[in-house]
Structure 1
Amino acid sequence: MPAPFTFAELTPTAFLDRSEHAFAERTAIVDPGASSATGESPVERRFTYRQFAERSRRLAGVVGALGANPGDRVAVLATNSHVMLEAHHGVPYAGAVLVPLNTRLSADELIHIVEHSGARVMLATTELAELATVVAERTGATLLVEGAEYEDRLASAAPSVVPVADERGLLAINYTSGTTGRPKGVMYHHRGAYLQALAMAFHVRLAPESRYLWTLPMFHCDGWCFPWAVTAAGGTHVCLRAIDAEEIWRLLRTEGVTHFCAAPTVLTMIAGAPTADGPALDHRVTVATGGAPPSPTLLSRMSDLGMDVTHLYGLTETYGPAVVNDWHPEWDELSGEERARLQARQGVGNVVAARLRVVDETTGHDVPADGESMGELVLRGNDVMLGYYRDPAATAEVDAVGWFRTGDLGVVHPDGYVEIRDRSKDVIISGGENIASVEVERVLDSHPAVIESAVVGAPDERWGEIPVAYVSVREEVEPDALVEHVRTHLARYKAPKRVVFGELPKTSTGKIQKNVLRDQERSAG
């Protein structure tokens, strides 16, 4: 029987406990603040690790006082801010379950998620107060918005910490559209988030002197677990409440930013901004990107600007990046074309992941490591979800005898590195966001003029992909009318960027051949 001092339940809030002790007076958070409704300039706030920890524990007390008991869900609709960072620690401190909400969703979509999760309490930042109020009123959740009341409640609340009894207990529910259209709640546990945070800190080499810029939304896979990773390293969180290339460059130069994560679309914005050609950075910046392979041209441009880009791969179901293109120093000596080819690969499992596999869809056996034989990428390990919340059927669908089916197709190169060649056929990844084509089609088909529709992804230099709708109609209708129809029901980024009218290609059994439409778009693109 092991001695009691040999084991402690893992939880990512332990990193804040440690950093409060080790780095008490170091700056933990820099938040530029939100613009007020009266047009006043934002008020910047800075917090030390001592203040960060104290505020987070007081937020745990506030959450409990608002009615969230241990195990209850707390939804958070927030920009990248001190509020979101405090929620990532305060909600788990309270023993509650964090439900980060995608700030780009419509009210109806958010209401469904809050209702499905059963969240009893909502937190929100100033910029999203109006939308949060609508969601809270419709769901009955108790809402607390950043501002005077938030600060007053923190000041008067008693600090609270509920010990973690089971490291595989529920920590957070992150909703993803997946491939079915209806959002699915991906369940994270404390152990997985703890280990994934360590993996991220390791792979991008975070340290106390690191200054991490929040270009990646914290609602997305809990910010790839970087709210806990940066905290574990004792680094500084530099918040960015809205994506703005000019502001990013200002912070890169004035705040000494050393790290950030972003989709290739954001990198393109940064590289193409007028201020990119301003004063050169006096240090190299480590950048992690995922969602789509960055182009060789973009990688070259980022390097010239002083930024070293690492390609990652993952899903909401894997706490973000489960696969990393670990760069070999010897590859630096290769030609530019060869380096670009190697950088486009997804790579190998991260340092806490199990060794990934690519399996033949028919036999279930591993494909040969020849760089040509295609199979489905399957994963397992501590950094894979517990399952889908209140959806055992969906969980069973992705279970391949103990391995998580990603739905992505790829090959294994002779050196063991994986390269994705295709992905879940009907999912469009635009600007790093998943768009389920079925979801958009259902809305299009509800328009009285539409007979049927098919939505596919078309190549786009800025967004990676954009949704294009192919529609057959029973009466004449303007394309803009169909686009607006979708926007009234779904987030704006899900609306088709182009509408093509005509008969849809079908198989002999009447199934729409989306592969034909995708090939047509790729050829045209």
Structure 2
Amino acid sequence: MQHTNIYNLGLDRNAANFAALTPLSYLQRAASVYPDRVAQIHHDQQLTWKQTYLRCVRLASALSKAGIAEGDTVSFIAANTNPLFEAHFGVPMCGAVLNAVNTRLDAEAISFILQHAEAKIVFVDREFSEVASRAIKMLGANRPRVIDIDDPFYEGGELIGEMDYEAFIAQGDEGFSYSLPADEWNAITLNYTSGTTGNPKGVVYHHRGAYLNAVSNAVSWNMGEHPVYLWTLPMFHCNGWCFPWTLAATVGTSVSLRHVRADAIYDSIRNNKVNHFCGAPIVLNMLNNADAGLKTGINHEVKVMTAGAAPPAAVIEGMEAMGFKVTHVYGLTETYGPCVVCAWHDEWNDRSLTEKARLKSRQGVKSPMQEGLMVADPETMQPVPRDGQTIGEIFMRGNLVMKGYLKNPRATEEAFAGDWFHSGDLAVWHPDGYVEIKDRSKDIIISGGENISSIEVEDVLYRHPAVSEAAVVARPDEKWGETPCAFINLKAGAQVTEQEIIDFCRDNMAKFKAPKTVVFGELPKTSTGKIQKFVLRDRVKTL
């Protein structure tokens, strides 16, 4: 006798009991429930959630009138100001896909992105008009329409488009009847990887993942309602880790920031009562080392979310000593930004500041909306022991993983081999289930048959009082195969010798892990502020 599942009889999905998940619904709710709350602050300009909603509708309408349809790409080469924030809603409201371009790339890379994405319209902030103009010229006859972003608070650059953003959205209709996506699997944004080896890959996000990671951010960070969030993290980077949508979900305030400088950050925290911001460890390090006078007058709690590279415990310790509460997260462009969080346990509160910083420097556990996380052998896909010692690769699966790479089925298939996303990051798994990165697979140093984590050596280097920035790479060695080579940027006015650095490391870690060579000077960085280890690996060959 065939079994009948009574819960499938007459209980079909319909418009009354099911809706495709999309972060656009957060904007609708924010404008409806809290129309007069401040949504955006840009210098002395303030916009409410109702005003922001109507501007997004006008943007969607204007794009639709310009011929933009479902599945078309709209690119923005813009700073962390209102137009790019609004684009996270207005572009998908007309069915199009937002491509926020990394403003620190060169013209060739930007041109490749615009061509590969098949951008129909590109919005260009005056600050980036020179590089954008060169990139667009390289496209020849396939040039997109260009609309300027003419920020009244920025001086410099040129207007290269046919009109500016405000004039463009003025063409739109506030009563525009936009549609939410029929399928939550539809693309919402396109982000490009940094492309340090070959051309960057186009990472496609869907509405479902954007909706869920927006909430995942709020839950994992205990944001509550109405946070005031400062844009120290580029909105072009994983769509600002999905925080434009998080701010709509929490009915928060988006505080723009064009340039990431210590004085501007501290001023905004003080004046706008900012209580949340994100940033790579390099930003935290800058804030730690800022002049003491900049830090005065901040008496409220500020929560900091950091990722991008494993933050040295000393950097976390410095932020916590200032009264800033640090949450460490981990993810990749392919995982909507953060999908792993160093979730805090109250029983850790009584630990010393140093011990708490060490715990916080671990990457952590899966975030609330992520389904799967493991450290495993990349060949067998078998999880490694949770012993804090055995190194494996980090794998993720679930709703916070990209649709795939645009027009690159081979790379997509490789990334998802075995039904897990392959991160390329090497880590250990601790007995408590927390993951701790030891290196990118290409950054591990094998010296005399022993694996040395460059991150572990860097962690020690950052504890030295003279060190501002540090990076460790493998240097070829006839005897040992490879030895650690440290590149160090000293704090202003600091003086220290190579031998003093080596001795400091030998005193604070296993002696064989200490760098054999130390090079002082500025460190090369990627467009998102990460230290370019591939440049340093080339440099060590000539030492």
Following the alignment from structure 1 to structure 2, what is the Cα–Cα distance between the partners of residues 346 and 278?
28
Q: Does 1:173 align with 2:193?
A: no
Following the alignment from structure 1 to structure 2, what is the Cα–Cα distance between the partners of residues 292 and 163?
36
Which stretch of structure 1 is more off in the superposition, 3-12 or 101-110? 3-12
- Residues 17-416 of structure 1 correspond to what in structure 2 (within 5 A)? 17-32=28-43, 44-139=44-139, 140-147=143-150, 149-159=164-174, 160=176, 161-177=178-194, 180-275=197-292, 278-416=295-433
Query: Which AA in structure 1 matches 2:182?
Result: A
Shift of 1:276: 5.3
After superposition, what is the alpha-carbon deviation per residue over 1:298-325, rounded to whole angstroms, capped at 9, x for unaligned? 2222122221001111000000011000
Query: What is the match of residue 155 of structure 2?
Result: none
Following the alignment from structure 1 to structure 2, what is the Cα–Cα distance between the partners of residues 280 and 170?
44
Change (3 A) 1:501 1:220: closer
Q: Does 1:6 align with 2:21?
A: no
Q: Is the 8 A contact 2:22 2:180 kept in 1?
A: no
Q: Is the 8 A contact 1:136 1:143 kept in 2?
A: no
Following the alignment from structure 1 to structure 2, what is the Cα–Cα distance between the partners of residues 80 and 194?
21
Following the alignment from structure 1 to structure 2, what is the Cα–Cα distance between the partners of residues 56 and 209?
20
Query: Which AA in structure 1 matches 2:376?
Result: V
What's the secondary structure of 1:401's corresponding residue?
helix
Following the alignment from structure 2 to structure 1, what is the Cα–Cα distance between the partners of residues 173 and 133?
26
Q: How many residues align?
A: 448
Shift of 1:496: 4.3
Among the aligned pairs, what percent are the same residue? 42
Shift of 1:95: 0.4
Following the alignment from structure 1 to structure 2, what is the Cα–Cα distance between the partners of residues 351 and 57?
31
Query: Which AA in structure 2 matches 1:156?
Result: Q
Q: Is the 8 A contact 1:179 1:424 kept in 2?
A: no
Shift of 1:137: 3.6
Following the alignment from structure 1 to structure 2, what is the Cα–Cα distance between the partners of residues 149 and 363?
55
Shift of 1:458: 5.5
Query: Which AA in structure 1 matches 2:135?
Result: V
Q: Is the 8 A contact 1:101 1:110 kept in 2?
A: yes
Query: What is the match of residue 509 of structure 2?
Result: none
Change (3 A) 1:197 1:275: same
Shift of 1:125: 2.0
Shift of 1:207: 3.2
Following the alignment from structure 2 to structure 1, what is the Cα–Cα distance between the partners of residues 219 and 539?
47
- Residues 483-502 of structure 1 correspond to what in structure 2 (within 5 A)? 496=535, 500=539
Q: Is the 8 A contact 2:317 2:354 kept in 1?
A: no
Which stretch of structure 1 is more off in the superposition, 5-14 or 160-169? 160-169
Provide structure 2 residue ranges, at least 5 long, that are not aligned to the other structure.
1-10, 151-162, 445-453, 459-472, 474-483, 492-521
Shift of 1:163: 2.6
Q: Is the 8 A contact 1:136 1:142 kept in 2?
A: no
Q: Is the 8 A contact 2:57 2:172 kept in 1?
A: no
Shift of 1:143: 0.8
Following the alignment from structure 1 to structure 2, what is the Cα–Cα distance between the partners of residues 109 and 426?
25
Query: What is the match of residue 523 of structure 1?
Result: none
Shift of 1:202: 1.2
Q: TM-score w.r.t. structure 1 length? A: 0.79
Change (3 A) 1:50 1:379: same
Shift of 1:29: 0.2
Following the alignment from structure 1 to structure 2, what is the Cα–Cα distance between the partners of residues 224 and 501?
34
Following the alignment from structure 1 to structure 2, what is the Cα–Cα distance between the partners of residues 231 and 167?
18
Following the alignment from structure 1 to structure 2, what is the Cα–Cα distance between the partners of residues 295 and 276?
25
Which stretch of structure 1 is more off in the superposition, 184-193 or 398-407? 398-407
What's the secondary structure of 2:190's corresponding residue?
strand
Following the alignment from structure 1 to structure 2, what is the Cα–Cα distance between the partners of residues 315 and 82?
25
What's the secondary structure of 1:209's corresponding residue?
coil
Following the alignment from structure 2 to structure 1, what is the Cα–Cα distance between the partners of residues 70 and 361?
44
What's the secondary structure of 1:333's corresponding residue?
coil
Shift of 1:292: 2.1
The alignment yields a C-alpha RMSD, in angstroms, of 3.0
Shift of 1:328: 0.3
Q: TM-score w.r.t. structure 2 length? A: 0.77
Following the alignment from structure 2 to structure 1, what is the Cα–Cα distance between the partners of residues 386 and 20?
38
Q: Is the 8 A contact 2:316 2:361 kept in 1?
A: no
Provide structure 1 residue ranges, at least 5 long, that are not aligned to the other structure.
33-43, 431-436, 438-455, 464-482, 504-516, 518-525
Q: Is the 8 A contact 1:372 1:412 kept in 2?
A: yes
